[in-house]
Chain A
Amino acid sequence: MRRTVAVMFGGRSLEHDVSVVSGLQILHAVDPERFAPMPIYIDQSLRWWVGDELWHKESFKGGGPDRAHATEVALSPGFGTSMLAPVGFSRPISVDVFIPVLHGTFGEDGSIQGQLELGGCAYVGSGVLASAVGMNKRMTKIVASHAAVPIVPWLSCERSVLDRGHDWMRDYPAKVEASFGWPVIVKPCNLGSSAGVTTANDADEMVAGILKVFEYDVEALIEPFIRNRLEINVAVAGLDVPVASVTEMPVTSQASILSFSEKYKREGRKSIGSSEGMAGALRVLDPSDLPAEMRASAQRHATTVFAALGCEGISRIDFLVDADRGTLYFNEINTLPGSLAFYLWSAAPHYWTITELLARLIDRAERLRAMKRGLQRKPPAELSLL
Chain B
Amino acid sequence: MRSFWPFMPILAATYLFLAWRRLLAYLRYFQQEGYEPLRFLRWVSVRSLNDPAFWLSIGAAFLFTVAPRTALVVFVAGAVFLGVAQPDPRSTGKIPLRLTWRATRVLAVATVFSAALWVFLTRGYVDRDLQAPLMASAWMFVLLPLVLIAANASLVPYERAVQRRYETDARRRIADVQPFVVGITGSYGKSSTKAMLGHLLQFHAPTLAASGSINTLMGVTRHIRDDLVFGHKFMVVEMGAFKRGSIRRLCQLTPPSAGVITAVGDMHLERFGSLDEIVRAKSELAEAVPAGGLLVVNADSPGALRIARSFGDRKVLLYGERSPEDLATRVEHIVFSRQGTTFTLRTPDGTYRCFTPLLGRPIILNLAGAFTLAAAVGMDPDVIVAAMRTLKPVANRLEVIEERGVTWIRDAYNSNQFGFRAALEVAASLPVARRFLATPGVIELGSDQFDVNRALSKEAAAVCDTTLVVSDTNRAAFEAGHREAGKEAHLVAVPNRTEAFRWLRETIKDGDAVILENDLPDLYEKSAGVFWKAS
Q: Is the CB of A211 within 8 A of B387?
A: yes
Which residues of chain A are near B203, meaning CB under 8 Å?
Answer: 162, 211, 214
Return 5 A-B CB contacts under 8 Å, by A number. Answer: A162-B203, A169-B382, A211-B383, A215-B202, A215-B390
Interface: A272 (CB within 8 A): no
Q: Which residue of B lies closest to A205 (CB)?
A: B389
- Looking at the assembled complex, report how far the CB atom of B198 sits from the nearest CB atom of chain A, in whole angstroms: 11
- In the bound assembly, the distance between CA atoms of A211 and B387 in angstroms comes to 6
Interface: B36 (CB within 8 A): no
- In the bound assembly, the distance between CA atoms of A208 and B357 in angstroms comes to 12
- Looking at the assembled complex, report how far the CB atom of A148 sits from the nearest CB atom of chain B, in whole angstroms: 38
- What mask results when residues 57 to 83 of chain B are scored 1 for a CB within 8 Å of chain A, else 0? 000000000000000000000000000
- Looking at the assembled complex, report how far the CB atom of A64 sits from the nearest CB atom of chain B, in whole angstroms: 15
Q: Which residue of B lies closest to A203 (CB)?
A: B386
Given known A211-B203, A214-B203, A215-B202, contact A162–B383 (CB-CB < 8 A): yes
- What mask results when residues 82 to 97 of chain B are scored 1 for a CB within 8 Å of chain A, else 0? 0000000001000000
- In the bound assembly, the distance between CA atoms of A205 and B387 in angstroms comes to 10
- In the bound assembly, the distance between CA atoms of A205 and B355 in angstroms comes to 11
- In the bound assembly, the distance between CA atoms of A215 and B387 in angstroms comes to 11
- Looking at the assembled complex, report how far the CB atom of A245 sits from the nearest CB atom of chain B, in whole angstroms: 37
- In the bound assembly, the distance between CA atoms of A215 and B91 in angstroms comes to 32
Q: Is the CB of A207 within 8 A of B380?
A: no
Query: Which of B91, B202, B204, B386 is within 8 Å of A207, CB to CB?
Result: B386
- In the bound assembly, the distance between CA atoms of A169 and B385 in angstroms comes to 11
Q: Which residue of A lies closest to B386 (CB)?
A: A207
Which residues of chain B are near A215, meaning CB under 8 Å?
Answer: 202, 390
**Most chain A beta-carbon contacts within 10 A, residue among B91, B386, B387:** B386
Which residues of chain B are near A356, meaning CB under 8 Å?
Answer: none
Which residues of chain B are near A91, meaning CB under 8 Å?
Answer: none
Given known A162-B203, A162-B204, contact A208–B380 (CB-CB < 8 A): no
Which residues of chain A are near B202, meaning CB under 8 Å?
Answer: 214-215
Interface positions, chain B 174-233, Cβ under 8 Å from A, are 202-204
Q: Which residue of A lies closest to B384 (CB)?
A: A166
Which residues of chain B are near A166, meaning CB under 8 Å?
Answer: 380, 382-383
Interface: A177 (CB within 8 A): no
Query: Which of B91, B382, B386 is within 8 Å of A208, CB to CB?
Result: B386
Interface positions, chain A 4-28, Cβ under 8 Å from B, are none
- What mask results when residues 375 to 395 of chain B are scored 1 for a CB within 8 Å of chain A, else 0? 000001011001101100000
Interface: A66 (CB within 8 A): no
Interface: A171 (CB within 8 A): no
- What mask results when residues 216 to 255 of chain B are scored 1 for a CB within 8 Å of chain A, else 0? 0000000000000000000000000000000000000000
Interface positions, chain A 161-180, Cβ under 8 Å from B, are 162, 165-166, 169
- In the bound assembly, the distance between CA atoms of A165 and B181 in angstroms comes to 23
Chain B residues with CB under 8 Å of chain A are: 91, 202-204, 355, 380, 382-383, 386-387, 389-390
Interface size (A, Cβ < 8 Å)?
A: 13
Interface: A204 (CB within 8 A): yes
Which residues of chain A are near B91, meaning CB under 8 Å?
Answer: 62
- In the bound assembly, the distance between CA atoms of A62 and B202 in angstroms comes to 30
**Most chain A beta-carbon contacts within 10 A, residue among B382, B383, B389, B390:** B390
Q: Is the CB of B380 within 8 A of A211?
A: no
- Looking at the assembled complex, report how far the CB atom of A205 sits from the nearest CB atom of chain B, in whole angstroms: 8
- What mask results when residues 126 to 163 of chain A are scored 1 for a CB within 8 Å of chain B, else 0? 00000000000000000000000000000000000010
Interface: A212 (CB within 8 A): yes
- What mask results when residues 195 to 215 of chain A are scored 1 for a CB within 8 Å of chain B, else 0? 000000000110110011011
Which residues of chain A are near B380, meaning CB under 8 Å?
Answer: 165-166
Which residues of chain A are near B390, meaning CB under 8 Å?
Answer: 208, 211-212, 215
Which residues of chain A are near B204, meaning CB under 8 Å?
Answer: 162
Further contacts, 16 of them, CB under 8 A, given A166-B382, A208-B390, A211-B383: A62-B91, A162-B203, A162-B383, A165-B380, A169-B382, A169-B383, A169-B386, A204-B389, A205-B389, A207-B389, A208-B387, A211-B386, A211-B387, A212-B390, A214-B202, A215-B202
Which residues of chain B are near A169, meaning CB under 8 Å?
Answer: 382-383, 386
- Looking at the assembled complex, report how far the CB atom of B226 sits from the nearest CB atom of chain A, in whole angstroms: 11
- Looking at the assembled complex, report how far the CB atom of B386 sits from the nearest CB atom of chain A, in whole angstroms: 5
Q: Is the CB of A204 within 8 A of B383?
A: no
Q: Which residue of B lies closest to A214 (CB)?
A: B203
- Looking at the assembled complex, report how far the CB atom of A206 sits from the nearest CB atom of chain B, in whole angstroms: 10
Q: Which residue of B lies closest to A207 (CB)?
A: B386
Interchain residue pairs A-B with the least CB separation, the first 3: A208-B389, A166-B382, A207-B386
Which residues of chain B are near A162, meaning CB under 8 Å?
Answer: 203-204, 383
Q: Which residue of A lies closest to B389 (CB)?
A: A208
Which residues of chain B are near A214, meaning CB under 8 Å?
Answer: 202-203
- In the bound assembly, the distance between CA atoms of A215 and B199 in angstroms comes to 9
- In the bound assembly, the distance between CA atoms of A207 and B388 in angstroms comes to 11
- What mask results when residues 52 to 72 of chain A are scored 1 for a CB within 8 Å of chain B, else 0? 000000000010000000000
- In the bound assembly, the distance between CA atoms of A208 and B389 in angstroms comes to 6
Which residues of chain A are near B383, meaning CB under 8 Å?
Answer: 162, 166, 169, 211
- Looking at the assembled complex, report how far the CB atom of A22 sits from the nearest CB atom of chain B, in whole angstroms: 27
- Looking at the assembled complex, report how far the CB atom of B6 sits from the nearest CB atom of chain A, in whole angstroms: 34
Which residues of chain A are near B389, meaning CB under 8 Å?
Answer: 204-205, 207-208, 211
- Looking at the assembled complex, report how far the CB atom of B500 sits from the nearest CB atom of chain A, in whole angstroms: 25
- In the bound assembly, the distance between CA atoms of A205 and B383 in angstroms comes to 13
- In the bound assembly, the distance between CA atoms of A335 and B382 in angstroms comes to 39
- Looking at the assembled complex, report how far the CB atom of A157 sits from the nearest CB atom of chain B, in whole angstroms: 13
Which residues of chain B are near A165, meaning CB under 8 Å?
Answer: 380
- In the bound assembly, the distance between CA atoms of A212 and B356 in angstroms comes to 13
Q: Which residue of A lies closest to B355 (CB)?
A: A204
Q: Which residue of A lies closest to B200 (CB)?
A: A211
Q: Which residue of B lies closest to A196 (CB)?
A: B390
Which residues of chain B are near A212, meaning CB under 8 Å?
Answer: 390
- In the bound assembly, the distance between CA atoms of A165 and B203 in angstroms comes to 11
- In the bound assembly, the distance between CA atoms of A15 and B202 in angstroms comes to 23
Which residues of chain A are near B386, meaning CB under 8 Å?
Answer: 169, 204, 207-208, 211
- In the bound assembly, the distance between CA atoms of A378 and B209 in angstroms comes to 52
- In the bound assembly, the distance between CA atoms of A32 and B380 in angstroms comes to 60
- In the bound assembly, the distance between CA atoms of A205 and B204 in angstroms comes to 19
- In the bound assembly, the distance between CA atoms of A162 and B386 in angstroms comes to 12
Which residues of chain B are near A207, meaning CB under 8 Å?
Answer: 386, 389
Interface positions, chain A 237-251, Cβ under 8 Å from B, are none
Q: Which residue of B lies closest to A170 (CB)?
A: B382
- In the bound assembly, the distance between CA atoms of A165 and B204 in angstroms comes to 9
- Looking at the assembled complex, report how far the CB atom of A170 sits from the nearest CB atom of chain B, in whole angstroms: 9
- In the bound assembly, the distance between CA atoms of A208 and B203 in angstroms comes to 11
- Looking at the assembled complex, report how far the CB atom of A220 sits from the nearest CB atom of chain B, in whole angstroms: 12
- In the bound assembly, the distance between CA atoms of A211 and B389 in angstroms comes to 9
Interface positions, chain A 331-362, Cβ under 8 Å from B, are none
- In the bound assembly, the distance between CA atoms of A207 and B386 in angstroms comes to 7
Which residues of chain B are near A208, meaning CB under 8 Å?
Answer: 386-387, 389-390
Which residues of chain B are near A205, meaning CB under 8 Å?
Answer: 389
Which residues of chain A are near B387, meaning CB under 8 Å?
Answer: 208, 211
Which residues of chain B are near A211, meaning CB under 8 Å?
Answer: 203, 383, 386-387, 389-390
- In the bound assembly, the distance between CA atoms of A215 and B207 in angstroms comes to 12
Which residues of chain B are near A62, meaning CB under 8 Å?
Answer: 91
Interface positions, chain A 208-231, Cβ under 8 Å from B, are 208, 211-212, 214-215
- Looking at the assembled complex, report how far the CB atom of A199 sits from the nearest CB atom of chain B, in whole angstroms: 14
- In the bound assembly, the distance between CA atoms of A107 and B87 in angstroms comes to 40
- Looking at the assembled complex, report how far the CB atom of A155 sits from the nearest CB atom of chain B, in whole angstroms: 17
- In the bound assembly, the distance between CA atoms of A166 and B204 in angstroms comes to 11
- In the bound assembly, the distance between CA atoms of A16 and B31 in angstroms comes to 31
Which residues of chain A are near B355, meaning CB under 8 Å?
Answer: 204
Q: Which residue of A lies closest to B383 (CB)?
A: A166
- In the bound assembly, the distance between CA atoms of A211 and B386 in angstroms comes to 8
- Looking at the assembled complex, report how far the CB atom of A294 sits from the nearest CB atom of chain B, in whole angstroms: 37
- Looking at the assembled complex, report how far the CB atom of B90 sits from the nearest CB atom of chain A, in whole angstroms: 10
- In the bound assembly, the distance between CA atoms of A166 and B202 in angstroms comes to 15
- In the bound assembly, the distance between CA atoms of A165 and B382 in angstroms comes to 9
